[in-house]
Amino acid sequence: MLLKKTGLAIAVFLASVLAYADDQDFMAAREAYRVADIPALVDYSTKLQGNLFAVYADYYLLSRQLDKADGIAVITFLQKYPDTWLAEKLRGEWLVMLAKRGDWPNYQQFYGGLAKPELEHKCYNYTARINTSDKKAASEALAELWLTTKDLPTACDDLFVLLDKSGAISQDDYWARLRLALQNGSVGLSRYLAGKVGVDLSTQRLEQINKSPQLYLAKPDVETAVGHELYLAALNRYARQDLDKAATYWETVQQRFNSEDRPYGWRLLALIAAKQQDSRAVDWFKLSHNVVWSDDDKEWAVRSAIRNQRWDEVLTFLNLLSADKQQDRAWKYWRARAMEGNKDKAKFAQAIYNGLSVDDDYYGLLARDRLGNRISVQPKTYVLTAQDKQVATQNLGLQRALALYTLDLRTEAVREWNWTLRNADDKLLLAAAEQAANVRWYDRAIYAAERTKQLHSYSLRYLTPYEEVTRGYSQDLGLDPAWVYGLIRQESRFVTSAKSGVGAGGLMQLMPTTAQWVANRLKIPYHAGMVNEIGTNVQLGTYYINHVFQQLGNQPVLATAGYNAGPNRAKQWQDPNQALPVDVYTESIPFSETRDYVKKVMTNAVHYALGFGQGPQSITERMGKVIPARNVQTLEGP
């Protein structure tokens, strides 16, 4: 389990890192960069040459003067510090500068070296290609960017203006994007796009459809093309409020739509029905077969058929997915599940399960269960050699990341770490994971260890820090520590100060209201900082997950889903009339975050159980085999 090191060994290792990390000149250079003190940056760039942080000092100086720099200065930096995170960062900044200068030939040359282009860079690159007479650029830009509902950077807006002026955007293109803008409720964009197709849409009219869509549905104006689009937008919005009434409206008016828009209307209803776990989704999706639709929509169709265990339709919808998407492990598993009840196809299902079961992820573990083979051992641990460890110790990117971590510069440390390991081999990944574990940088240790392909260390991949409090509170409540560790690993990766975007904190990512509720139940004086105290966080978190577990009928999957999305949602996702196979319930969870969370927590629990010596494991049995029908009992607590 947790890598064991003596206190002396850890102290020696830390000292070797801190020899670099305790660098006052680097921290002073960082402050000079923040306040744009160029003379100081010149001084620190000289002082830090030969130091682990020389790349930062040189970056700080050049980045602050990039508006006055030339390509030679940038090339010199890139050649001096190749394959570093800061080289990638500076290249991206220089590309923005070239774009602002309109230097498109040089933009294309520098863009070719960018490893991970951001959307801004992609849009500038399309602009560069158009301005250097690349005849394919316009059509490729439209295919990739035009039909998006995401907020786009200014560079993309400028690209669209260029495409418009060049005549590359057709009227059909404008109508297609107008449909998305209307359904998104984007008033400003909708008005602009409507103007491009010669239609004047008032702000008042659009806002009325957004706020009171049923008024438009009750008195539809569908005699014009824009009337059709407004109706579909109103239908989409009202179906979220009242699916039954929206469906009734659509049934009465659908014949007034053409052969492409009619299936599209059914699909709008089907998508909302699928997310509400309404059984009508399957048949409504079947009514929209004959028009183009995205893989995302098709995946919802597959899940709706899985939810209703309509296996023929599962296969039908799976066959509509793109060839690449059909190779996803999830859809391979569900193809086998849909086939296994058919005696003519059962042998094909067995072959798929055999292929999946080679791996030990969620679908691999499920496949083993379908074959009747429990997992009993984890892969053999690769023992690092002295040479493996030396290679990691001599890797400047890793050592710089560790040094930044000891200086509590977590953002920079994580970026350095991830960048350095992006193409690492298994030996370097494991040596890096060991180094991170030794300084208690647990989340990066796991990040490195779980990326290995052939050589593994599951003691690093499934670390068990804070064993005394975690096992202690778990056992006091009768909870399986493997499950609790599976939750913590997924919640925080053992980062004690982790904080989510919605305010959850600590190892078990407790919301303040939840923490206060539990503290009150335990008669512990509550204060806001409690969630970041290791022992208190685990005490409150284990109490709460046990409470949810009991409230939801001692069902691990329901409790896991409830811990992530709220117990009432987990209960609402149960079928009101019948029990569901546990894999069906899990796959049909309508929140993608929660669906992924449940799969990973339960997979983690299997591997922790193996590491704890709990014997051969079946993930299906651990998950509970079936999820019972929903009962009417009111849940207690947050």
Distance in angstroms (rounded) separating the CA atoms of residues 352 and 467: 39
Q: Which two tokens stand for residue 406?
A: 């000891």
DSSP state of 2: P
Q: Is 382 left (phi over 0), alpha (psi -120 to 50) or beta?
A: beta
Dmax over Cα atoms in the chain, in whole Å? Answer: 81
Distance in angstroms (rounded) separating the CA atoms of residues 607 and 481: 12
Closest CA to 421 of 450, 463, 378: 450
DSSP string, 546-579: HHHHHHTTS-HHHHHHHHHH-HHHHHHTS-SSS-
Distance in angstroms (rounded) separating the CA atoms of residues 611 and 609: 5
Give me the helix-helix angle, 481-492 and 556-565, nearest 10°: 30
Distance in angstroms (rounded) separating the CA atoms of residues 557 and 561: 6
CB hemisphere CA count around 44 (13 angstroms) = 27
For the beta carbon of residue 164, count every other beta carbon within 10 angstroms: 13
Q: How many helices (H) and strands (E) does the chain have?
A: 39, 2
Say which of 340, 412, 491, 587 is annotated catalytic: 491
Distance in angstroms (rounded) separating the CA atoms of residues 555 and 559: 6
Does residue 123 contact residue 94 with C-beta atoms inside 8 Å?
A: no
Q: Which helix (H) or strand (E) holds 580?
A: strand 580-581
Distance in angstroms (rounded) separating the CA atoms of residues 277 and 627: 15
Distance in angstroms (rounded) separating the CA atoms of residues 490 and 444: 13
Distance in angstroms (rounded) separating the CA atoms of residues 94 and 110: 8
For residue 363, the Cα-to-chain-centroid distance in whole angstroms is 18
Give me the helix-helix angle, 481-492 and 467-477, nearest 10°: 130
CA distances to 454, 555, 610 from 613, in Å: 23, 23, 5
For residue 211, the Cα-to-chain-centroid distance in whole angstroms is 31
Distance in angstroms (rounded) separating the CA atoms of residues 580 and 9: 52
Q: Which two tokens stand for residue 57?
A: 């000092």
Helix (H, G, I), strand (E, B) or coil at 153: coil
Does residue 284 contact residue 273 with C-beta atoms inside 8 Å?
A: yes
Distance in angstroms (rounded) separating the CA atoms of residues 589 and 276: 10
CA distances to 301, 336, 377 from 296, in Å: 9, 21, 36
Is 140 marked active-site?
Answer: no
Active site residues: 491
